[in-house]
Amino acid sequence: MRAVLLGTGAPPPNPARRGPSTLVALGREQFLVDAGSGVGVQLVRAGVRPYDWPRVLITHHHSDHTIDLGHLLITRWIVGQNAPFEVWGPAGTKRQVEKLLDYLDWDIEIRRAHMHAGRSRPAVHVTEIEEGTLMEAGGVTVSAFAVDHDPVKPAFGFRFDGGGRSLAISGDTRPSENLMKWSRGVDVLIHECCEMAKTSWAPGCGWASIEEKIRDLASYHTQPPDLGRVAAGAGAKQLVVTHIMPGSVPDELAGHAKAQYQGPIVIGEDLVEV
Ligand SMILES: [Zn+2]
Ligand SMILES: [Zn+2]
């Protein structure tokens, strides 16, 4: 089982990193975790054509994790895929997908009118998830676990066990005891590090000062000094860092993580396989 880091970025547009998204695969069985900006292009670069775009597991409904869900949904249909698009996600996913289909309705109907053989509308099958085992598919067991991203609730991370390997993906979270419990002993822990000291500030952005903004946003993400503690707490055999802000310096992130974690550390780059 392998994971391809399709997008290792954060909300700010960054030419070097696409939005959050990870492909997990064992043989032909594939799972896509999140659908951040640019995920379609990255799937193609990873060798997955639109007709075959896999089921999607959404960690939480922050827009940086879902913004290209509509692109995936409509593009696989445009190229001829009629099998239902599987979307798994927290409570609220059904409503979000219904609104997305409503937004795409005009495009869907104008395209259908242009087609000669009667074409059905795109089918989507949504499963709203809770903590626990979600599915066993193609030799892979997929589990969801709650993480701490308040006020975004529920927010999940995912664990994949298959092919003699285990992987956990944190989603967005502050350091989470529950994540450490669920990712105990994994071969690879793919963990967020949204370094809020690198955020920008503008008058009217919702915070009176940059200090206030950093404090608030740092409280629901994992900051560099906590990375190593989380990886060590989970007993992960390898730490892979993702959800990286444009201003973050990879060597600095690795330096922080090393202070409390002895295992190998990969600072994620787009399209790197782990
Ligand atoms: Zn988030
Ligand atoms: Zn995020």
Q: Does 153 reside within a domain?
A: yes
Beta-carbon contacts of residue 222 (< 8 Å; ≥ 6 apart):
170, 173, 174, 175, 191, 192, 193, 194, 230
Q: Does 227 reside within a domain?
A: yes
In this structure, which ligand is nearest to the CA of 194? 2
Q: How far is the CA of 19 from the centre of ligand 2 (A)?
A: 8
Decide: 119 and 183 in contact? Cβ < 8 Å: no
Active site residue ranges:
64
Q: Does 272 reside within a domain?
A: no
Q: Does 274 reside within a domain?
A: no
Burial class for 99, CB neighbours closer than 10 Å (0-12, 13-18, 19+): exposed
pLDDT at 192: 98
Number of domains in the chain: 1
SS3 content of the chain, % helix, strand, coil (to 5): 30, 25, 45
List per-residue pLDDT tens for the chain, 274 residues long. Answer: 999 999 999 999 999 999 999 999 999 999 999 999 999 999 999 999 999 999 999 999 999 999 999 999 999 999 999 999 999 999 999 999 999 999 999 999 999 999 988 899 999 999 999 999 999 999 999 999 999 999 999 999 999 999 999 999 999 999 999 999 999 999 999 999 999 999 999 999 999 999 999 999 999 999 999 999 999 999 999 999 999 999 999 999 999 999 999 999 999 999 999 9
Decide: 9 and 243 in contact? Cβ < 8 Å: yes
In this structure, which ligand is nearest to the CA of 11? 2
Q: Does 166 reside within a domain?
A: yes
Q: Does 143 reside within a domain?
A: yes
Q: How far is the CA of 104 from the centre of ligand 1 (A)?
A: 24
Q: Residue 13: which domain range? A: 2-267
Query: CATH number for the domain including 161?
Result: 3.60.15.10
pLDDT at 117: 82
Q: Does 273 reside within a domain?
A: no
Q: How far is the CA of 82 from the centre of ligand 2 (A)?
A: 30
pLDDT at 82: 96
pLDDT at 233: 98
Q: How far is the CA of 110 from the centre of ligand 2 (A)?
A: 34
Query: What spatial distance separates the first Cα and last Cα of the chain, rounded to whole Å?
Result: 9
In this structure, which ligand is nearest to the CA of 9? 2
pLDDT at 118: 86
Q: Does 255 reside within a domain?
A: yes
Q: How far is the CA of 185 from the centre of ligand 2 (A)?
A: 25
Q: How far is the CA of 216 from the centre of ligand 2 (A)?
A: 14
Q: Is 0.75 topped by the overall pTM?
A: yes
In this structure, which ligand is nearest to the CA of 147? 1
Written as one letter, the residue type at 196 is M
HSE-CB of 141 using CA atoms within 13 angstroms: 7
